[in-house]
Amino acid sequence: MHASSSIPELYDHVIDNGRLQFIEKLGEGAYGVVYRAVDLDSPTSSRNPDPKQYAVKVMLKAQPRTRHVRYQRGEIAAHRSVSAHPNILTLHKVIEDEPYIYLVMDYCPGGDMFRHITERKTYGGKTDLVKKVFVQILDAVQACHEQGLAHRDLKPDNILCMDESGSRVVLADFGLSTSSDRSSTFGCGSSYYTSPETIGTDFGYRPYDAKVADVWSLGVMLVNMIAGRNPWTSATMEDQCFLRSMTKPGYLQKMLPISDEAVTILQRIFTYDPKMRITLPKLREAILKVKTFFMTKEQLAKSHRFAQIAARSYFQKYYSFTEEDYKEMNALEQAEFGRRENLVEALVVENPTNHFRLVDRVGSPGMPSLTNSDSDSDAESIGPVTPARNAVGSETLVDVPLLKDGEDMGVPVVPTVAKKRRDRPFGSLVQFMERFAL
């Protein structure tokens, strides 16, 4: 049972000596519930009739001398250390009473990037907007890394939009972050976005650099923004979309309407060998040089039907294809996707000249499972966002002084966060193929 289920409804609940009043539940996770709150003391006028708003994350206080205490304090310390960055969600205040801890943060009226991708299709066909937003995300992650912090749960759910346009974003939720140079927590994050070394099964569960793993997650997010889909369900040898993406040059463009420029960048991100992965500064530089992230209509007309279908579902208006363009869809090679290929015990990594070479599969069966002493298989990313079940590391152990109820925030409020629970993210290529019986 999640601890958040033990938190009663707190509508109209007032904290901070009567200053903040809860008015709406925005979302909940494993250990917290997020409410929208209004500042009853904020001045109003005819020009600005509405009081200031915040997102307040409510957490049950962890029992003393437990691992959960370390998680709570680690999350707060991590968020505070980077909160001043313009592309990171501002944490204004941490207060406590019995039996709760309250994290007072900016409220984001634009919701999260997940919503903008899946419901509003905000970024489809808009290279300048994708570039503008993705660079903001890169800058936020770079700021974390410069503070010695790896986020470890990068995904659209954790990118919050300052307004309805989806053009100004901030990074949120530091519940899985770590300051360790080498992490030994495996399966940490959301499966669609975790790197092969983070999963650990094909790497012999060797300690990994979580900052480098963040770059992989950014690559999956870039695919989300360009194509509205996940490239695979899990970056392991058990996932046929992942295997084909690694072993078959051109596979991503076969399935998704991604430009040549974007594919070149993704090849530098999705390197099976973490040491060969592109750095954040180089990635930022490459993103700024892109002319288009999307296939042109002419390229798409000549592309594989799978890419055409994905384009139609994500931004039909941009391409203006008709149903007639897809009448041959069911005649495609269905058998190709109804069987698993006999792949060699190898995976592909990108070498410095951007060619592909096979490397021996690393790791071995029989290594320790996720439920080891450094992980909590029942824990979940908490706060404004709620991913699939994750292992949460116990590596960030920072003592954080909490403020008592009523202490002054000391910083101005800028409108901004929040999130509703999702059981699963938008479709992966596997789900996409199943839907169309490909």
- Active-site residue numbers? 153
Token representation of residue 377: 């298989």
Distance CA 389, CA 377 (A): 7
- Nearest 5 degrees, angle CA 239-CA 243-CA 246? 145
C-alpha atoms less than 13 angstroms from C-alpha of 385 in its C-beta half-sphere? 31
Please name the residues in contact with 122: beta carbons below 8 A apart, sequence gap of 6 or more: 116, 129, 165, 166
Question: Phi and psi (nearest 5°) for 330?
Answer: -70, -10
Region for 31 from its dihedrals, namely left if φ exceeds 0, alpha if ψ lies in -120 to 50, beta otherwise: alpha
C-alpha atoms less than 13 angstroms from C-alpha of 88 in its C-beta half-sphere? 23
Token representation of residue 256: 């998704």
> Of 209, 322, 306, which is closest to residue 257 (Cα–Cα)?
306
Please name the residues in contact with 134: beta carbons below 8 A apart, sequence gap of 6 or more: 221, 222, 225, 287
CB atoms within 10 A of CB 374: 15
- Number of helical (H) and strand (E) elements in the chain, helices listed first: 12, 11
Distance CA 323, CA 360 (A): 45
Q: Is residue 222 within 8 Å of 262, Cβ to Cβ?
A: yes
Distance CA 232, CA 220 (A): 9
Burial of 409 (0-12, 13-18, 19+ CB in 10 A): middle
Peptide bond into 257 cis (omega under 30): no
Three-state DSSP string of 208-256:
ECHHHHHHHHHHHHHHHHHHCCECCCCCCCCCHHHHHHHHCCCHHHHHC
Token representation of residue 128: 């300048």
Distance CA 432, CA 438 (A): 8
